[in-house]
Amino acid sequence: MESSPHLLVVDDHRDIRELLARYLREQGMRVTLAASGEELRRLMKTTSPDLVVLDIMMPGEDGLSLCRFLREHHASLPVILLTALGEDTDRIVGLEMGADDYLTKPFNPRELLARVKAVLRRTRQLPGESEQREGLKYHFADWVLDTDRRSLFTSDGVEVALSTAEFRLLLVFLRHPRRVLSRDQLLDLTAGREAQPFDRAIDNQVSRLRRKIEADTRNPALIKTVWGGGYQLNADVSQTGVVSQS
């Protein structure tokens, strides 16, 4: 049982917490529950969850503030947000702050389970995970990607939060600079799976990544769209740090 994924579910509604806990445990997950931001912060001192399911609308400290806290102190921990219908602004802000996915209430627990599995699969299958990379950093344009911290920094040291999916996508581009990568190739390299026909997940991820690294998202200069081909990182890339093979 210890090898099964450990989820931390944070929601102020007791019935939702208990329903999700019961269902997820039946599916072989380990589940810890928290009813508030204060409880989440306390639990993070003593537990190491594999993923956090986080409600946005809570009394006291809300989910967006907690998402920011998790990105600052547990940068690689995946987060799935739970949002109420019509909370489009909060959902977008949450994704820009580094949440990995979101689900709109009301939802079927089976859909949450599918999202959890997909996010965990992406997290655990980072490209090049078989290589042990110590202190490796990618420098491009006015940006630095720190692979140890899984964080993106401006040239003057300001950190920009990345979700796991955004980190994976940017890492693939940085490992293949100036090369045209099709959507199928990007899906395979980032998600470790065969692409589905008409899968637009990559387009959505590219749009989110552009909002963080492009000066003008309407005229992107770094991640270029190649019509009929896919996407291309239009920048020179250099590396610093040590790479040792396992």
Q: What is the CATH number of the domain that holds 69?
A: 3.40.50.2300
In a domain, 77, yes or no: yes
- Both 53 and 96 in a single domain? yes
| Mean pLDDT of the residues in the chain | 84
pLDDT of residue 178: 92
Residue at which a domain ends, from 72, 99, 124: 124
Structural domains counted in the chain: 2
pLDDT of residue 164: 80
- Both 26 and 56 in a single domain? yes
pLDDT of residue 200: 61
Residue at which a domain ends, from 124, 141, 161: 124
In a domain, 31, yes or no: yes
The reported pTM is 0.64
Q: Which residue range(s) make up the domain with 66?
A: 6-124
User: Span 155-181, mean pLDDT?
Assistant: 89
- Both 116 and 142 in a single domain? no
- Both 203 and 219 in a single domain? yes
In a domain, 1, yes or no: no
Concatenating the DSSP letter of every residue in the chain gives -TTS-EEEEE-S-HHHHHHHHHHHHHTT-EEEEESSHHHHHHHTTT---SEEEEES--SSS-HHHHHHHHHHHSTT--EEEEEETT-HHHHHHHHHTT--EEEEES--HHHHHHHHHHHHHHHHT-TTTTEEEEEEEEEETTEEEETTTTEEEETTS-EE---HHHHHHHHHHHHSTT--B-HHHHHHHHHSSPPPTT--HHHHHHHHHHHHH-S-TTS-SSEEEETTTEEEE-S-EEEEEEEEE-
